[in-house]
Amino acid sequence: MTYSEVSHTADVKIRAVAPTLEGVFSDAFCALMQVLYGPDRKGGLQREIILEAEDHESLLRDFLSEALYVADAENMVFCRAEIRISGNHLAALLDGESFDRSRHALGTEVKGISYSGLAISRDANGYMLDIVFDV
């Protein structure tokens, strides 16, 4: 898992680097959960997300938006995601636990995932992603 926060004027910008597309999606997911809930997250409860989109950028935005919705609607905190991508189809198994205010209130509210600044690129070493979380 390789991601870092990049300086941004108002929101949270993340840069992730991974050898595979699934890896960079997983890193973006973990970064989102870290921003939302802090580092103390455990597994044990699973949720599945299945999506299709017209391109990888839309697929990533839709995936993170759906994960954000599921976390909020079901009062869940996720620690990892097992992601499979085939073309523009994604299947993800999210692993997490119920929200516990005493452990998970350290983060920052994320209102949404921005298309602005969203870029996925590929070179000989793998994939690089820039993404902005609207806070």
Q: Which domains does the chain have, with CATH numbers?
A: 3-134 (3.55.10.10)
For residue 111, the model assigns a pLDDT of 93
Beta bridge partners of 98: 76
Q: What is the pTM for the complete model shown?
A: 0.91
C-beta of residue 131 within 8 angstroms of C-beta of residue 116? no
**pLDDT for 19-55, tens place per residue?**
999 999 999 999 999 999 988 899 999 999 999 999 9
Matching residue, tokens 């300086």 = 7
Query: Minimum mean pLDDT among 6-10, 38-42, 128-132: which range?
Result: 6-10
Q: What is the 3-state secondary structure (H, E, C) of 85-131?
A: EECCEEEEEEEEEECCHHHHCCCCCCCEEEEEEEEEEEECCEEEEEE
For residues 71-100, give the mean pLDDT.
97
Both structure tokens of 128: 């690089």
Alpha-carbon gap, residue 50 to 76, rounded angstroms = 18
For residues 77-85, give the mean pLDDT.
97
71: confidence class by pLDDT, cuts 50, 70, 90: very high
